[in-house]
Amino acid sequence: MHSDVVRAAELLRAGELVAFPTETVYGLGADALNPSAIAKIFAAKGRPADHPLIVHLPPSARLDDWAREVPSGARRLAEAFWPGPLTLILQRQSQVPDQVTGGQDTVALRVPRHPVALDFLEAFGSGIAAPSANRYGRISPTLARHVVEELGSAVSMVLDGGACEVGIESTIVDLSRGEAVLLRPGLIGAERIESVLGRPLSVADALAKPAPRVSGSHAAHYAPGTPLRLVRPDRLREVLNAQRHAGHRCAVIAYSQPAFAESPHVWRMLAADPAGYAHDLYSALRELDSMGLRAIVVELPPEGEAWRAILDRLFRSAAGSGIADDDRL
Ligand code: TXA
Ligand code: MG
């Protein structure tokens, strides 16, 4: 086992924070059973203390040590998708501290599949509580460098595992309340989950019934500082031309259209398939956000199930960036 991973596990045992790569995004990890270490996560992120964290487990962990009354559907999902980008919400076992669950009776669990995360979890030998390793409300990091930029000296060590393969956060399914509820869409789509469960998923609707708190479901999340606006492909040229006439330079994230030759704007092309797009989305947003341009104009991806998780993140980014209407552009 790599010496960095051994040292990282020792730091966790000493109650310190270690950022580590997962296949989705980088996490900011602490010993899930140490409340004072957990408190450091909230301080480093600037995150309200009642927002629950995901506990990352080594593949060798016993699910029943962390959750109770585990329904058979949850076991089937774990079997099918762990290690991987799926988080399950289950009734918590009594050893899980209130600081991890935000005082709720449920706990979020996932076994990630990034090789460095797996080594780290095995070296530590217990659960690692970790939110995404960004400051509260900001874009999740997909490179070690992003973590250092966001959190600096607040974290004792950053394990570098290169660029995250998936690039957006895990799918979250709540199985703690009888029915199965999709709380956050992700790369593992609803149909794949439904086919393992053998029944339909319902989708979280905060207005319809009381649901557990999910900070990722707040509209203002995943937000760049630069105003972000989603524009349908057939309107992209018109919007960008109007910006040019007004003397403005924008950043453009597109997937279907080549950069217009006359454009003064800064173009970033992403892949036209959802997995490739997700892989590069956050680093593109981060890079373009740092350029101090008028706005980030994003070519709206297609509607439909395959793009659902990406549309979810883009709509949140737009809402969080504070653009209210077309007049600002
Ligand atoms: O891909 C991911 O899930 C990444 C990597 C690091 O694993 N983690 C991540 O963590 O995105 P975070 O904290 O940024 O988002 C976790 C989401 C939050 O929206 C939180 O509210 C929700 O999971 N959550 C955690 N525990 C919960 C619970 N008991 N009930 C409902 N939602 C919960
Ligand atoms: Mg997060």
User: pLDDT tens digits, residue range 68-103?
Assistant: 999 999 999 999 999 999 999 999 999 999 999 999
Residue 324: which pLDDT band, with cuts at 50, 70 and 90?
very low
d(CA 261, CA 28): 42
215 pLDDT above the threshold of 80? no
> Measuring from atom 13 of ligand 1, which residue has the nearest CA?
131
d(CA 25, CA 81): 17
Task: Provide mean pLDDT across the span 49-67.
Answer: 96
Q: What is the pLDDT of residues 2-45, one digit of tens each?
A: 789 999 999 999 999 999 999 999 999 999 999 999 999 999 99
| pLDDT value of residue 321 | 86
Quote the percentage of the chain above a pLDDT of 70. Answer: 91
Higher pLDDT, 8 or 49: 8
| pLDDT value of residue 2 | 78
Task: Provide mean pLDDT across the span 130-136.
Answer: 96
Distance of CA 52 from the midpoint of ligand 1 (Å): 7
Distance of CA 268 from the midpoint of ligand 2 (Å): 24
Residues with CB under 6 A from ligand 1: 22, 24-25, 27, 51-54, 87, 89, 101, 104, 106-108, 110, 112, 130-132, 169-170, 172, 183, 212-216
| pLDDT value of residue 194 | 98
Residue of 159, 123, 144 lying closest to 13 (CA atoms): 123
154 pLDDT above the threshold of 90? yes
Q: What is the pLDDT of residues 251-267, one digit of tens each?
A: 999 999 888 767 799 99
| pLDDT value of residue 3 | 87
| pLDDT value of residue 325 | 46
| pLDDT value of residue 223 | 83
Higher pLDDT, 223 or 318: 318
| 128 Cβ contact partners less than 8 Å away, ≥ 6 residues apart | 12, 20, 27, 29, 30, 31, 32, 55, 56, 120, 121
d(CA 10, CA 171): 30
CB atoms within 10 A of CB 60: 9
* Candidate of 100, 109, 172 to mutate for ligand 1, largest count of ligand atoms within 8 Å of Cβ: 172
| pLDDT value of residue 259 | 81
Domain boundaries in the chain?
A: 3-206, 228-320
| pLDDT value of residue 322 | 61
Same-fold call for 3-206 versus 228-320 = no
Q: Which CATH superfamily is domain 3-206 in?
A: DHBP synthase (3.90.870.10)
Cβ pair 195, 95 in contact under 8 A: no
| pLDDT value of residue 219 | 53
Higher pLDDT, 257 or 131: 131
Q: Which atom of ligand 1 is nearest to the CA of 51?
A: 21
209 pLDDT above the threshold of 70? no
Averaged pLDDT score across all residues of the chain:
92
Residue of 132, 24, 185 lying closest to 193 (CA atoms): 185
CATH top class, domain 228-320? alpha beta
| pLDDT value of residue 222 | 75
* Candidate of 18, 54, 172 to mutate for ligand 1, largest count of ligand atoms within 8 Å of Cβ: 54
